[in-house]
Amino acid sequence: MLCHHVHNNKIGQGGFGPVYKGKLQEGRDIAVKRLSRASGQGLNELVNEVVAISKLQHRNLVRLLGCRIEGEERMSVYEFMPKKSLDSYIFDAVNRKLLNWKTRFSIIEGICRGLLYIHRDSRLRVIHRDLKASNILLDEDLNPKISDFGLARVFRGNEGEANTRRVVGTYGYMSPEYAVGGLFSEKSDVFSLGVILLEIISGRRNSGFLDDEEAMNLLTHAWRLWNEDKVVDLADPEFYEERFEREVRKCIHVGLLCVQDLATDRPSVSAVVWMLGAEDADLPEPKPPAFIPRWRVTNAESSEPRDRNVSINNVTISSITGH
């Protein structure tokens, strides 16, 4: 598989090296991920990604076309996504105007369908482990495709969860049980999905609240608005109109259920798909989301009994790769 002039056309930077735009001899545009020689991860992740994604075929997953491993040169080749990644739209002052509510809801549904496929419907059960807005790519019609399976873990048989000593992922999208204890399962991907869902609705990064006196992060902010019954204030004013209130409220509700502190309190992806699609779904009441210090919740909620159930997870992680 040959491609021309790849190295002059850098279009992005993945967790393990640069990504270039290339062209096959027959004229098809492709994306070429080149593994950085300086990357400590290297070959294992590349092979892991190639093996995992080559067995997966779904309209909401980026398609792997091939790979090349020759000495120090290691590359994988994917279909080219002309609209780049979701974060370059929802967090961008100009591009966010291109995403109306119908498009945002369609992107949410597509991400959920792709995740449902890798968790339940494909020949393999795959936990992605690094789901985030920059790993959701958009095609010409703004359909979302989950990418970057370098950290993915394939589960076999009836295996439901696993433990790792090497916690890898992106802070802000990681579930507490994974960040603190290295435990991951479908429910850790569901946590990341909840963060993305709230980011799509609000147009704000979960980690972008450093100067905000009132909120530690997007989850805290959403929870406070939920308790004040002002949850639609979370919606990005670029798209929000009153006629969308019911759908927006439901999506935020589902997002809060996905980011619950305990994995057992989070829905499965199939339940999320059902909740988003059902007209009058009777959804469970969310509890406080993960990573909320008790004093914040007490300020927001006076002194309701459920304050005592909030866990405090002040955590520092040194072994994170990817940005």
CATH code of residue 43: 3.30.200.20
Report the alpha-carbon distance of residue 156 to residue 123 in Å, rounded: 10
pLDDT at 19 over 90: no
Kindly state whether residues 240 and 100 are assigned to the same domain. Answer: yes
Report the alpha-carbon distance of residue 211 to residue 9 in Å, rounded: 36
Kindly state whether residues 95 and 240 are assigned to the same domain. Answer: yes
Kindly state whether residues 30 and 131 are assigned to the same domain. Answer: no
Which residues are CB-neighbours of 83 under 8 A, at least 6 positions away? 89, 137, 138, 139, 140, 142
Q: Which of 49, 79, 109 is the endpoint of a domain?
A: 79
* Residue 315 within any structural domain of the chain: no
Predicted pLDDT at 53: 73
Q: Which of 50, 79, 108 is the endpoint of a domain?
A: 79
155-166 pLDDT tens trace: 776 667 788 777
* Residue 191 within any structural domain of the chain: yes
Q: Which of 22, 51, 79 is the endpoint of a domain?
A: 79
Structure confidence at residue 262 as a pLDDT band (50, 70, 90): very high
Structure-derived torsion over alpha carbons of residues 83, 84, 87, 89, reported in degrees to the nearest 10 = -20
Number of independent structural domains in the chain: 2
DSSP structure string for 123-181: SSEEE-S---GGGEEE-TT--EEE---TT-EEE-TT--EEE-SS--S-TTTS-HHHHHH
Which tops the pLDDT comparison, 43 or 317? 43
Kindly state whether residues 293 and 189 are assigned to the same domain. Answer: yes
Kindly state whether residues 122 and 259 are assigned to the same domain. Answer: yes
Kindly state whether residues 195 and 72 are assigned to the same domain. Answer: no
276-290 pLDDT tens trace: 998 877 899 999 999
* Residue 322 within any structural domain of the chain: no
Q: What is the CATH number of the domain that holds 113?
A: 1.10.510.10
Kindly state whether residues 59 and 96 are assigned to the same domain. Answer: no
Which residues are CB-neighbours of 40 under 8 A, at least 6 positions away? 321
**Annotated catalytic, 212?**
no
Can you give the residue range of the structural domain that contains 180? 87-309
Kindly state whether residues 125 and 43 are assigned to the same domain. Answer: no
Is the distance from CB of 204 to CB of 218 less than 8 angstroms? yes
Q: Which amino acid is at 101?
A: W
CA 233 to chain centre: 22
* Residue 149 within any structural domain of the chain: yes
* Residue 135 within any structural domain of the chain: yes
- Which one of the listed residues 130, 148, 189, 261 is annotated catalytic? 130
Mean pLDDT of 191-215: 86
Among the residue ranges 97-101, 148-152, 215-219, 228-232, the one predicted with the least confidence is 148-152
Kindly state whether residues 149 and 192 are assigned to the same domain. Answer: yes
* Residue 319 within any structural domain of the chain: no
Structural element, H or E, at residue 23: strand 17-23
* Residue 18 within any structural domain of the chain: yes
Kindly state whether residues 50 and 163 are assigned to the same domain. Answer: no
212-228 pLDDT tens trace: 556 679 999 999 999 99
Kindly state whether residues 71 and 93 are assigned to the same domain. Answer: no
Report the alpha-carbon distance of residue 199 to residue 113 in Å, rounded: 18
